Chains A and B, each alone.
Chain A
Amino acid sequence: MQHLANIFWLGTKELRSFSRDFVLFGFVIYSFTLAVYAQAESPAQEAHNSSVAIVDEDHSALSRAIAAALLPPYFSPPTEVVAGHVDEQMDTARSTFVLDIPPHYERDIMAGRRPAIQVNVDATAMMQAGIGAGYLQQIIAREIARSATDAEPSQAEPAKLAVRVAFNPNLTTQLFNAVMAIIGNVNMLAIILAGAAIIREREHGTMDHLLIMPLTPFEIAAAKVWANGLVITVAVGLSLWLVVETLLGIRIVGSIPLFMAGVTIYLFFATAIGIFLGTVARSMPQLGLLFVLVALPMNILSGGNTPLDSMPTFLRAVMQLSPSTHFVSFAQAILYRGAGIDVVWPQFAVVGIVGGVFFALSIMRFRKISAAMM
Chain B
Amino acid sequence: MSHPASVIAVEGLSHSYGRTLALDGVTLRVPTGALVGLIGPDGVGKSTLLSLVAGAKRIQTGRVEVFGSDMADQRHRSAVCPRIAFLPQGLGKNLYPDLSVRENIDFFGRLFGEPAGERARRIDTLLEATGLAPFPDRPARKLSGGMRQKLGLCCALVHDPDLLILDEPTTGVDPLSRRQFWELIERMRARRPGMSVVVATAYMEEAERFDELIAMNAGRILASAAPAELKRLTGQGSLEESFIALLPEAVRAGRRALSIPPRPSGEHEAVIIADGLTRRFGEFVAVDGVSFAIERGEIFGFLGSNGCGKTTTMKMLTGLLPASDGKAWLLGQPIDAANMRLRRRVGYMSQSFSLYTELTVRQNLDLHARLFHIAADRAKSRIAALIKRFGFGPYVDQRASQLPLGIRQRLSLAVAVVHEPELLILDEPTSGVDPLARDSFWELLVELSRRQGVTIFVSTHFMNEAARCDRVALMHGGRVVAAGTPTELVEAKGAADLEDAFVAYLQSAGGESSNLVSSPPEPERAAISPSARVASRAGFSLGRLFAYSWRETLELWRDPVRLGFALLGTAFLMVVFGLGINTDVNLVTFAALDRDNTPESRAYLQEFRGSPYFAERKTLTSYDDLDRALRSAGFALAIEVPPGFGRDIRRGTAPEIGAWVDGAMPFRAETVRGYLTGLHQQYVADLAATAGNRPASPVIETRFVYNQDFKSIFAMVPGTIAMLLAFMPAMLMAVGVVREKELGSIVNLYVTPVTRLEFLLGKQLPYVILCLISFLTLFVMAVFLFGVTLKGSFWVLLLGALLYVTAMTGYGLVISAFTRTQIAALFVAGIMTSLPAVQFSGMLAPVSSLVGFPAFMAHTFPAMYFLRISVGTFTKALGFQELAGSLLALAAFIPILILISLAFLRRQEL
Q: Which of A35, A141, A290 interacts with B700 by CB under 8 Å?
A: A141
Does B848 belong to the interface (CB within 8 Å)? Answer: yes
Q: Which of B577, B676, B829, B840 is A288 in contact with, Cβ under 8 Å?
A: B829
Tell me if A301 and B830 are in contact (CB < 8 A).
Answer: no
Query: Which residues of chain A (299-350) have a CB below 8 Å from chain B?
Result: 299-301, 303, 305-307, 309-312, 315, 319, 329, 332-333, 336-339, 343
**Are A289 and B731 neighbours in the complex by a CB distance under 8 Å?**
yes
Question: What's the least CB distance linking A104 to chain B, in Å?
Answer: 14
With A119-B703, A122-B706, A311-B580 already in contact, the answer to whether A165 and B340 are too (CB < 8 A) is no
Once the chains bind, are A189 and B827 in contact (CB under 8 Å)?
yes
B353 interfacial contact with A, CB 8 Å:
yes
Contact B320 A214 (CB under 8 A): no
Asked if residues A196 and B835 are in contact (CB atoms below 8 Å), the reply is: no
Q: Which residues of A contact B660 (CB under 8 A)?
A: 164-166
Asked if B661 and A163 make an inter-chain contact with CB atoms under 8 angstroms apart, the answer reads yes
| Contact present for B673 and A17 (CB under 8 Å) | no
Task: Say whether B701 faces chain A, with CB atoms less than 8 Å apart.
Answer: yes
Q: Are B875 and A168 in contact (CB under 8 A)?
A: no
> A268-284: which have CB < 8 Å to B?
282-284
Tell me if B698 and A297 are in contact (CB < 8 A). no
| Cβ-defined partner of A46 (8 Å) among B670, B698, B708, B848 | B670
Does the CB pair B731–A214 fall under 8 Å?
A: no
B631–A311 contact, CB under 8 A? no
The stretch of B247-255, B366-374, B523-531 that contacts the partner chain: B366-374
B28 at the interface (CB under 8 A from A): no
Question: What's the least CB distance linking A194 to chain B, in Å?
Answer: 11
Whether A306 contacts B581 in the complex (CB less than 8 A), given A6-B371, A288-B731, comes out as: yes
Assess the A24–B823 pair: CB atoms within 8 A: yes
B710 A130 Cβ-Cβ under 8 A: yes
Pick the residue among B580, B663, B705 that contacts A122 (CB under 8 A).
B705
Q: Is B835 touching A215 in the complex (CB atoms < 8 A)?
A: no
Q: Across the interface, do B573 and A27 meet the contact criterion of CB distance under 8 Å?
A: no
CB pair A38 B854 closer than 8 Å: yes
Cα distance, A211 to B830, chains bound together (Å): 31
The A-B contact count (CB < 8 A) is: 464
Q: Are A43 and B849 in contact (CB under 8 A)?
A: yes
Q: Which residue of A lies closest to B876 (CB)?
A: A91
Q: Decide if A188 touches B834 in the complex (CB within 8 Å).
A: yes
A286 within 8 Å of B by Cβ? yes
Which residues between 46 and 78 of chain A lie within 8 Å of chain B, taking CB atoms? Answer: 46-51, 76
Check if B680 is an interface residue, CB within 8 A of chain A: yes
Closest to B727 in A: A292
Flag if B735 contacts A115 (CB, 8 Å).
no
A199 and B586 CA atoms in complex are apart in Å by 44
B window 534-583: CB within 8 A of A: 559, 561-562, 565-566, 569, 572-573, 576-577, 579-583
- Cβ of B658 within 8 Å of any chain A Cβ, yes or no, is yes
A255: interface (CB < 8 Å): no
Give the docked Cα–Cα distance between A23 and B691 (Å): 73
Residue of B663, B851, B885 touching A336 (CB-CB under 8 A): B663
Contact of B846 among A50, A114, A338 (CB under 8 A): A50
A150 within 8 A of B: no
Given the interface contacts A171-B663, A205-B350, does A289 sit within 8 Å of B671 by beta carbon?
Answer: no
Asked if A123 is at the interface of the complex by the 8 Å CB criterion, the answer is yes
A123, B680: Cβ atoms closer than 8 Å: no
Q: Please, how many residues of chain A have a CB less than 8 angstroms from a CB on the other chain?
A: 149
**Considering the chains assembled together, what is the distance between the CA atoms of A338 and B655 in angstroms?**
31
A150-175 vs B, Cβ < 8 Å mask (1 yes, 0 no): 00001111111111111111011100
The answer, yes or no, to whether B704 is at the interface (CB within 8 Å) is yes
Query: In the complex, which residues of chain B have a beta carbon less than 8 angstroms from the beta carbon of A128?
Result: 845-846, 849
Are the C-beta atoms of A124 and B714 separated by less than 8 Å?
yes
Q: Which residue of A lies closest to B687 (CB)?
A: A158
CB of A130 within 8 A of CB of B715, answer no
Among B581, B688, B826, the most chain A Cβ lie within 10 Å of the Cβ of B826
Q: How far is the CB of A198 from chain B (nearest CB, A)?
A: 11
Is A233 interfacial (CB-CB < 8 Å)? no
Contact call A39/B372, Cβ cutoff below 8 A: no
Q: Which residues of B sit under 8 angstroms from A297, Cβ to Cβ?
A: 573, 576-577, 580
Residue numbers in B under 8 Å from A282 (CB-CB): 561
Interface core residue of B344, B348, B712 (most chain A CB under 10 Å): B712
Give the interface size class of chain B: 35 or more
For A121, list chain B residues within 8 Å (CB).
702-705
- Chain A residues within an 8 Å CB radius of B789: none
In A184-200, the 8 Å CB interface with B consists of: 184-185, 188-189, 192-193, 196-197, 200
Task: Mark contacts of B633-653 with chain A using CB atoms, 8 A cut-off: 1 yes-contact digit, 0 otherwise.
Answer: 010100000000100110010
A169–B673 CA distance with the chains assembled, in angstroms: 12
Q: Report yes or no: A114 in contact with B661, Cβ–Cβ below 8 A.
A: no
Given the known interface contacts A9-B367, A17-B356, A293-B565, the answer about A95 and B848 at a Cβ–Cβ threshold of 8 Å is yes
Hey, which chain B residues are within 8 Å of A48, CB to CB?
A: 845, 849
Residues in chain B near residue A47, CB distance under 8 A: 670
Kindly provide the distance from the CB of A277 to the nearest chain B CB, expressed in whole angstroms: 12
Residues of A within 8 A of B630 (CB): 166-167, 337
- Which of B372, B587, B656 interacts with A162 by CB under 8 Å? B656
Question: Which residues on the B side are within 8 Å of A118 (C-beta)?
Answer: 701, 703
Among residues of B, the one whose C-beta sits closest to the C-beta of A1 is: B373
Between B631, B658, B823, the greatest number of chain A beta carbons within 10 A of the residue's beta carbon is seen for B823
B665 part of interface (Cβ distance < 8 Å): yes
Please tell me if the beta carbons of B850 and A42 are within 8 angstroms of each other in the complex. yes
- Contact A213 to B876, CB < 8 A, known contacts A50-B846, A188-B831: no
Do A285 and B657 touch (CB < 8 A)?
no
Interface string of B671-691 (1 = CB under 8 A from A): 101101100100110011001
Q: Are A93 and B688 in contact (CB under 8 A)?
A: no
B281 an interface residue at 8 Å Cβ cutoff?
Answer: yes
Contact A116 B322 (CB under 8 A): no
Residues of B within 8 Å of A31, CB to CB, are 831
A195 to B654, CA, bound (A): 63
Q: Select A13's contact among B367, B580, B820, B839, beta carbons within 8 Å.
A: B367
What distance in Å separates the Cβ of B159 from its nearest Cβ neighbour in chain A? 30
Closest partner residue, chain A, to B353 (CB atom): A205
For B351, list chain A residues within 8 Å (CB): 205
A51 to B827, Cβ gap below 8 A? no
Interface residue from B312, B363, B649, B699 paired with A116 (Cβ < 8 Å): B699
A2 part of interface (Cβ distance < 8 Å): yes
Cross-chain contact of B585 among A49, A155, A204, A310 (Cβ < 8 A): A310
Of residues 81 through 107 on chain A, the ones whose CB sits less than 8 Å from some CB of chain B are: 88, 90-96
Task: Determine the residue in chain B with the shortest Cβ distance to A206.
Answer: B354
Residue B407 lies at the interface, judged by CB distance under 8 Å to chain A: no
Q: Tell whether A90 pairs with B583 under 8 Å between CB atoms, given A42-B850, A128-B845, A192-B823.
A: no
Most buried by A among B664, B680, B882: B664
Closest CB-CB distance, A354 to chain B, in whole Å? 18
B340 touching A216 by the CB < 8 A rule? Answer: yes
B223 in contact (CB, < 8 A): no
In the assembly, what is the distance between CA of A301 and CA of B708, in Å?
Answer: 26
**With A126-B716, A310-B584 in contact, do A16 and B359 touch (Cβ < 8 Å)?**
yes
Inside 8 A of A44's CB, which chain B residues have their CB? 667, 839, 844-845
Closest residue of A by beta carbon distance from B848: A51
Are A332 and B655 in touch, CB under 8 angstroms?
no
Decide if A120 is an interface residue (CB 8 Å cutoff): yes
B707 within 8 A of A: yes
CA–CA, A367 and B566, complex, Å: 28
| A230 interface residue per 8 A CB criterion | no
Task: Decide if B735 touches A288 in the complex (CB within 8 Å).
Answer: yes
The answer to the question of A41 belonging to the interface, with a C-beta cut-off of 8 Å to chain B, is yes
9 cross-chain pairs, A with B, having the tightest CB-CB distances, nearest first: A168-B663, A205-B352, A123-B707, A209-B354, A123-B704, A289-B565, A284-B822, A336-B664, A332-B664
Given contacts A134-B670, A299-B838, A307-B582, 15 further A-B contacts (CB under 8 A): A41-B854, A93-B846, A93-B848, A114-B699, A126-B844, A157-B654, A157-B684, A159-B649, A164-B660, A204-B357, A292-B727, A292-B731, A296-B727, A301-B577, A309-B589
5 contacts between A and B (CB under 8 A): A126-B710, A204-B352, A299-B838, A301-B580, A307-B583
